[in-house]
Each structure stands twice: as C-alpha cells, then as structure tokens.
Amino acid sequence: MKFLKRFFVRLASLIGARREDQRFMEEIEEHIALQTKENLRAGLPENEARRQAVIKFGAVGALREDYHAEQGLPLIENLLQDLRFALRQMRKSPGFTLLTALILTLGIGINTAIFSLVYHVLLEPLPFPQPSQLYAVWARSDVDGNPRIASSGPDFLDYQDQNKSFSKIAVIIPHFSNTWTGDGDPKVLDCTGVSADFFSVLGIRPYMGRFYTPQEYEELNNPAMLVSYRFWKSELGGDPHVIGRVLQIGGSASTIVGVVPPLPDLFPYTEVWPTLPTRPGWDFMQWRKNKFLTVMGRLKPGVTPARAQDELTAVLRRAPGEPEDVRVRLIPLKEDLVGSVRAQLKIILAAVALVLLVACINVAALLLARSARRSVEMAVRLSLGASLKRLRQQLLTEGLVLTLVACSPGVFAAWLALKLLPQLTALRLPRLEGIHLNSAALLVTAGIAVLTTLLFGWAPSLMFSRPALESSLRSGRASTGKRHRRSFSTLIVAEIACSVVLSICAALVLKSYWRVAHVDSGFEPEHMITAYLRTTYFTPEGRSFWSDVLEGVGSLPGVRAVALADCTPGRAAAIATLVLTDHPKDANHAAPAEGCWTSPDFFRVSGTRLIRGRFFDPNDSADSSPVVIINEQAARRYWPGQDPIGKRIAINYTGAGRTGTSTPRFRAIVGVVQGMKYGPPESETEPAVYMPYLQDETYHDMAAMSLFVRTEGDAPALDHAIRQRIHSIRPEQPVDMILSMQEIVSNSIAQRRYSLSLLAAFAVLALLLAAVGIYGIVSWTTLQRTREFGIRIAVGATRGNVMADVFGQGLRLALIGTAIGVGASMLTTRALGQLLFGVSPLDLTSFCSSVILLGLISVFSCVIPALRSAYLDPVRALRSE
C-alpha cells in the first residue's frame, strides 16, 4: 500500500519535476542562510561563515541527485532519456537506421508471413468439433505397387456394415462437374457428391435451410439440392429467400433446400453438394473393382486409429479379388489434405529461417561496427562516472527502439503478403483460404525481435570493460583490437556460409525447373487451345452434337485442325484396367492404363508422333470393327519385344458415370503412338490406350468431352469465335475453361515455379545481405587501418599493394564462408527431395555457379573500400587523427 502510494506520488512529481527542484533549491538556500547567520553569531568573519555553512551542508550537486532520485522514478526517467537519445541517434544516421530497419523488416516480415502460412496449412486443427477423430480411409498394397488405393461402392458398404470403430462413416466423390442452364449463360458447376452421414461426420450444421433427409439420400434422382455458401453468395447474390428456388442442374429441375456453410479447408471450390446414394446406388457404385471413391469417418471416442485400421483391414481382406497384402490406412483428415505439401513447405520454412538468420547476423554486424565506432564516446562516459550497467541499459534501449521501428513495418509487410497469397490460386496449396496473421506467428515475431535485440543490444555492450577504457582514451579513436575483429569476421563468415547454402539450393531448384520445362510431354502445347464441354443431355441421340462441333469449329478461319477427347494432356485422364487375351488372368496384378476416347484427328491436333501402325481415320465408326491405339509405354510393358499391332484387348473403366456392359468388348490394336503425359511434366508417362469415341459402348463420351483446336496464328483471339460457334449449335451448352495448352502446362508446374521463385528470392536476399556484410566489414577495417595505410603509402607502398591487402582480407572471409557453405550444402541438399528433378543433389554446375557468383559478389563488395584506401592521401591520412 505504502509502496503504491509512493509510486503514485513519485509518478505525479515526475510530471511536475521542475517545481519540486525549485522548492529544494529554495530550502537549501534558506538552510545555508540560517547556518551562516549562526556562524556569524559564533564570531566567524562573513566569508568564512558562509563557507563553513556550505561545507557543513555537504555536496549540493550529489544531494540534489539523491533528492531527485528519491523524488521521481529514476528507472522510467532514464528510460525516457535513453529513448530520446536513441531516437536522436537514429535521426543522426538515417542511412544506418534505414538499412537496419529494411533488413529487419524483410527478415521479420517474410518470416511472419511464411510462418503464418505454414502454421495455418500444416498445424492449425480443422475447424470441426473434435477434429482429431476425423480420418480418411485408404488402402495400400505393395504387390499392386499402389500406396494409395481408393474405395469402391461395395468396399464402403462393407466398412459401414461391419465396423465397430466409427461413430459415423461416409463416402464422397470429391469432384465432378455438372451443368447449370436456364439462368443466363450456361455454366459448369463444381460438385461434390456426399453420402448420408457426411455432414454428421464433420459435425456441421446448415448455414441456412436444412441438410438432406435420409429418404433423399436414397433416391437415385433426388430433386432436392444443397448449394455451397460460396455459390449462394457469388452466383445467387446471397438471396435470403433462396430456399425453394429451382435451378436446372444437369438438365433436370433441382430445388434448393439448404446452404452448406463454407468449408475452406476441405472443399473450397465446391458449388453444389448433390447426394451420392449408396443403397441402391448407380451402376458404377456397384462394381467391386471400381475404386475411385473417398471414404472418411469419425472414430468413436477412445478408439485408437490402429485398432480401427486392423478392423477395416480384416473387412477389406474378406472381399473377393483383393491382393493378399492389402492393408487399410487411416490417415488423419488434416494430414490427408496437407500431407503432399508438407515437405515442400518445410523446405521453404527452413530457407526463410536461414534468411532471418542472415538478416540478424547482418544487423548484429552493423551494430557491432557502429558500437566500435562509438567506443570513444563510451570510454569518455565511463570515465566521467557513468556506470557500466547504465551504459548497457542505454544500448539495450537503443536496440529495442530499433527493433520496434523495424518490427512494425515487418508485421505490416507480413500482413500484406498474407492478403496477397490467397489470390495466387496457382499455388495449389490446400487450406489457402482464411489465412491470417495468427497470434502464434506474432509471438514468434516478437521472439525474433527480442532475440535480435539481445543479440545486438548486449553483444556490443559486453565489449566495454574498464581496462579497455584506457587504451581507447589514449589512442583517441575507435580501438577495437583483435577480439573485436575476430567476432566480426566470424559473423560475416557465418553469413556467407548461409547465403551459399541458400544459393546452391536455389540453383539446384532452378536447374530442375529448367529440366521440367524442357521435358517432352508428347504433345506440342504451342498454338493449341482447349475447352471443356460438359453436356446436359445424357442420351445416345445427343452424340450428333459432337460431329456438329467438330465440323462447326473446324470451319472457323484460323483453325487448322480440331479434335475431341475425354482426357486433357498435361492435366487428367481416366484410369482403366486392361483385359489382355494373350496374358494369364491374374486378379492380383491388374493391368492399369490411362484411357481416352478421342475423335479421329486427336493426334494430329496434339502433335503426337506415330511410332507404328496408323492413326484413327473416319472409317473407324460405330459400325466398323472396334480398334484401339496404344502408347509406347503400354507396348513396352505388356508386349515387350513383340509387335503389338493386331493384338486384342478389352478395357474396363473405373470412375463415376459409367454405364456397365456385361461382357468385355475386345478391340484390335492398330497403332502405337508416342507417350503423352496427363500430369505435370515431371510425372512418369503411364501406359495409355486411345479409342474412337464413336465406338464408346459405355456412352460415357456423352457426358463431357474436351475440345482441342490447333490454330494457325494467335490462339487467344479465337476464344470468342469458338464459344459463339458452339452456342449456335446448342445454345444451352456451357463452354468452360477455354485455355491455351501452354497455360495448362504452365499451371501444372505452377507450384514448382512458386517454390523456385521463393527460394530464388530468398537466395538473392541472402546474397545481397552477404554483400552488404562483406562491404561493411572490409570498409570498417580499412577505416581502422587508415593510419597504417597512410604510413605504408608514405614510405613507398604502391597502390597495388594496398589494394591487394584489402581484397585479400575480404576474399579470405569469402573463401572460408564459401567452403563452410559448400560443405553444409553437400549435407543438406538431399532434403530438397521432390523439388529436384533430373538433377543430382550434388550437381556440379549448380555448386560451381553459386560459388562463382559469391566470388564475384565478394570482389565487387571489396572494390569501393579497396579503391578508397589505395587512393588515400597519405598526408591527410596521417593527420586524420
């Protein structure tokens, strides 16, 4: 209580300090006057009386200090004083302040942004009740060589009926498309099909309206429909009376019964949530081998995933035709979403941490240099009686102020970066929506700030000790000595080593990117456009539409050739299994292949080379004998060393929307073509089969085809003409995703490009910082040696000698740093993993180019200080002190 009271009285007097001081002075004056009078009375002469009075009172100055200390709050006062001083210092050397602030802003800003991103994507729990109970169900089989096998309809029903581990389990088709017609321009919608328990697995409630009733889940053509929050907001204008509205989806009327709340983590782009009936289901849901469905469930409380995994494995092994080593894998739902990007994000995080390290080292070195320059000032203050503690406190305050100044723009920069990140949909990162500057990231930033402050607030101050004082004062200049220079050099060497590691990593990834960009994917993306045509009418009579499209678009000016296919090179193809007549039937070794229905000109449009046999021609029609073209990979795998032409195979498709045929239809192989990639260029080229779409007995081609147009001149100009031509054939036909094939290829390597640009940016930053560091140390030490150089030039050293000396110093540091960096890189580049493609982790050219780059940078950073000392005027140099 008393303490508090005193504190407030003191705080108050802190503000009115001057008045109190006046009062004290007045009291002293009076005191001395009275004492003088007393002394006079005692018979002392007037001068002596006053002198004795003053002596008796004691040292007024010291007392005044005491009084002051008693009166105010010295800690706060000192702090304010230090703050004022620090700000004045910063104003006095704006260049230094700006540079450190810039370095710290970059370091802290980038770190906060990347940490927030990684935290959000990898660590933040899914926003559902008890998210740790949510698991995705996959299977793996080493015999099949497939670590990630999806489920079929019957698999799911077995799991659902026989498990005791899950409180709820659901099956979904994550993505398929459907048309929306009758409201303005026809559109293609992103759909996610869900079975009965999906929403209760997640534990979410409708945003508006209701979810489906159990009856609706069982209807094959359920007229009720749920739309996503995103679709409701953007396409339906957030209409509050949307419940009950009827939309034409896939050509039939669907009534909106509810709005699903946003699920940015799982399905950010889904627009419509149709039901996926499991019992009874569609044909494609009833084939045991049609494994394309995603199963997810919520474990009962207290059930371990290992137990559930064993239980489901037992269930799956009872099913017919499974490989004997098949095992169910339960993957935490969050892991299932982000597992694929974890390694990559960790690399980025490590790189950014290195950048921060380099930034901190740099700032520490800058401050070290400055404090060395200020050692005279410190020596004078120490000898005038300032306590070491007081000086350290002041330096700490300076460091803190600088950190604060550097932190706030850093946090702002991070915030800005996070605002911009979700716009880059090409990143293909899961959970990109809803990223925010989270408190953990802020805490880490604060931690970094404090650490940095400690680093440079304290490290320099520890160098002042009383014995060093004397020499500082005597020489009258910033004396630093060997110890200083060594700690300095260590910092710079560490900095160079870090930037070498970063630049080697960037060089390796850059070379990988170049390799990827120059892979022959089996098609020529230049002057080729594609569009996605999802049809509304799912009837065989609709097939004439395709020939109309081929004819209509083919007659447009500027079009050289046109084709249709239900696969898209560089992006996607359906998976089929082959039935081979001349191979033994082996249920455990399915013969997988990518399958694609095409129009006759497909290979001529894509630019794929024919290796044997022939392409399709217009004679391969619905009535002629069925034919198939395979790629070289299929030929090599299934008929090694033989001529596959004339062999007969049948195709079993997997996937949604197929109409089943009871007996496989065998077709003769008429041609072998060059392999084409349906994924990013770094993916393997898989065996593939191509068939004329007119011979599609499953009628799947009626659902959707992609249009491919090879153009003569400028591709984009044709977008509008193609859309118009298709609408003139069928007005309600949506024409989606008109893209050039180059865009598709570019999108498929976007993530790689993004990682590369981040790494490259970090490496450039680190190299720049290293350059500043080298420049700083070299020019600082040459400044120290001005006198020495002056003497040497005066006694006849050539400018060359001096320059060589300066260069030698800088380059020696660069050499040591580079050697350490190269060593560290040799140990760490393996961790780049998937980012490397066609490049060894110890790739010589990448290592060499980075080392040469660093060598050049260090030479350049030494040029100015070297010239400065070489063209020193010896007379002025000697007088300079």
Are 159 and 169 in contact by the 8 Å Cβ rule? The answer is: yes
- How far apart (Å, rounded) are the C-alpha atoms in residues 788 and 794? 10
Specify the pairing of strand 294-299 against strand 134-141: antiparallel
Q: Which of 11, 16, 22, 34 binds other proteins (CB under 8 A)?
A: 34
Closest Cα partner for 776 from 96, 93, 97?
Answer: 96
Q: Which is nearer to other proteins, 61 or 640 (CB)?
A: 61
Angle at 429 between CA 423 and CA 432, to 5 degrees: 50
11 binds other proteins (CB under 8 A): no
Burial of 384 (0-12, 13-18, 19+ CB in 10 A): exposed
Smallest separation (angstroms) from other proteins to the CB of 384: 23
- How far apart (Å, rounded) are the C-alpha atoms in residues 10 and 4? 10
830 binds other proteins (CB under 8 A): no
Smallest separation (angstroms) from other proteins to the CB of 12: 10
Stretch that binds other proteins, among 1-9, 322-330, 454-462, 578-586 (CB under 8 A): 1-9
Stretch that binds other proteins, among 53-61, 101-109, 153-161, 574-582 (CB under 8 A): 53-61
Q: Which of 57, 458, 860, 871 binds other proteins (CB under 8 A)?
A: 57
Smallest separation (angstroms) from other proteins to the CB of 437: 45
The helix, strand and coil proportions of the chain, stated in percent and rounded to the nearest 5, come to: 55, 15, 30
Stretch that binds other proteins, among 59-67, 525-533, 704-712, 802-810 (CB under 8 A): 59-67
Stretch that binds other proteins, among 21-29, 166-174, 357-365, 613-621 (CB under 8 A): 21-29
Q: Which of 19, 31, 474, 812 binds other proteins (CB under 8 A)?
A: 31
26 binds other proteins (CB under 8 A): yes
Stretch that binds other proteins, among 60-68, 129-137, 212-220, 827-835 (CB under 8 A): 60-68
- How far apart (Å, rounded) are the C-alpha atoms in residues 452 and 396? 11
23 binds other proteins (CB under 8 A): yes
Stretch that binds other proteins, among 6-14, 260-268, 428-436, 473-481 (CB under 8 A): 6-14
Alpha carbon separation from 764 to 75, 503, 673, 771 (Å, rounded):
44, 7, 44, 10
25 binds other proteins (CB under 8 A): no
512 binds other proteins (CB under 8 A): no
- How far apart (Å, rounded) are the C-alpha atoms in residues 293 and 47? 108
63 binds other proteins (CB under 8 A): yes
Q: Which is nearer to other proteins, 5 or 91 (CB)?
A: 5
30 binds other proteins (CB under 8 A): yes
Stretch that binds other proteins, among 69-77, 459-467, 713-721, 743-751 (CB under 8 A): 69-77
Smallest separation (angstroms) from other proteins to the CB of 52: 11
What count of other Cβ atoms lies within 10 Å of the Cβ of residue 427? 17
Closest Cα partner for 635 from 596, 681, 682, 578?
Answer: 578
- How far apart (Å, rounded) are the C-alpha atoms in residues 115 and 446? 13
Q: Which of 19, 37, 483, 486 binds other proteins (CB under 8 A)?
A: 37
Q: Which of 21, 24, 305, 556 binds other proteins (CB under 8 A)?
A: 24
Closest Cα partner for 562 from 529, 532, 534, 533?
Answer: 529
Give me the half-sphere count of Cα atoms (radius 13 Å) on the Cβ side of residue 38. 11
Q: Which is nearer to other proteins, 6 or 84 (CB)?
A: 6
Q: Which of 46, 48, 66, 520 binds other proteins (CB under 8 A)?
A: 66
Q: Which is nearer to other proteins, 34 or 319 (CB)?
A: 34
- How far apart (Å, rounded) are the C-alpha atoms in residues 664 and 99? 73
Structure tokens at 716: 């984009």
59 binds other proteins (CB under 8 A): yes
Q: How many residues does the chain have?
A: 881
Residue 181 bridge partners (DSSP): 248
Q: Which is nearer to other proteins, 49 or 590 (CB)?
A: 49
Are 20 and 13 in contact by the 8 Å Cβ rule? The answer is: yes
Smallest separation (angstroms) from other proteins to the CB of 78: 18
Q: Which is nearer to other proteins, 49 or 492 (CB)?
A: 49
Q: Which of 11, 19, 56, 668 binds other proteins (CB under 8 A)?
A: 56
Q: Say what the alpha-carbon torsion angle 545, 551, 552, 554 is, to the nearest 10 degrees.
A: 140
Q: Which of 45, 58, 447, 476 binds other proteins (CB under 8 A)?
A: 58
Cis amide linkage into residue 592, ω under 30° from 0? no
Please work out the total of residues on this chain that contact other proteins, with binding judged by CB under 8 A. 29
In the block, residue with structure tokens 């990007």: 341
Smallest separation (angstroms) from other proteins to the CB of 389: 16
Q: How many Å is the maximal CA-CA distance in the chain?
A: 143
73 binds other proteins (CB under 8 A): no
2 binds other proteins (CB under 8 A): yes
**Helices within 374-476 (DSSP H only):** 375-383, 388-420, 439-458, 466-475
10 binds other proteins (CB under 8 A): yes
28 binds other proteins (CB under 8 A): yes
Smallest separation (angstroms) from other proteins to the CB of 879: 48
What count of other Cβ atoms lies within 10 Å of the Cβ of residue 236? 15
71 binds other proteins (CB under 8 A): yes
What count of other Cβ atoms lies within 10 Å of the Cβ of residue 880? 13
Alpha carbon separation from 715 to 447, 546, 548, 558 (Å, rounded):
53, 22, 22, 9
Stretch that binds other proteins, among 29-37, 140-148, 599-607, 867-875 (CB under 8 A): 29-37
Q: Which of 11, 33, 76, 404 binds other proteins (CB under 8 A)?
A: 33
Q: Which is nearer to other proteins, 71 or 371 (CB)?
A: 71
27 binds other proteins (CB under 8 A): yes
Angle at 361 between CA 360 and CA 367, to 5 degrees: 90
48 binds other proteins (CB under 8 A): no
Sequence-ordered list of residues with C-beta below 8 angstroms from that of 151, at least 6 positions apart, any chain = 137, 139, 159, 171, 291, 293, 294, 295
Smallest separation (angstroms) from other proteins to the CB of 386: 20
Q: Which of 6, 830, 876, 879 binds other proteins (CB under 8 A)?
A: 6
583 binds other proteins (CB under 8 A): no
What distance, in Å, lies between the first and last C-alpha atoms of the chain? Answer: 58
- How far apart (Å, rounded) are the C-alpha atoms in residues 712 and 709? 10
Q: Which is nearer to other proteins, 63 or 314 (CB)?
A: 63
- How far apart (Å, rounded) are the C-alpha atoms in residues 196 and 318? 25
Smallest separation (angstroms) from other proteins to the CB of 69: 8
> Which spans of this chain sit near other proteins (rule: CB under 8 A)?
2, 5-6, 9-10, 23-24, 26-28, 30-31, 33-35, 37-38, 55-60, 63, 66-67, 69-71
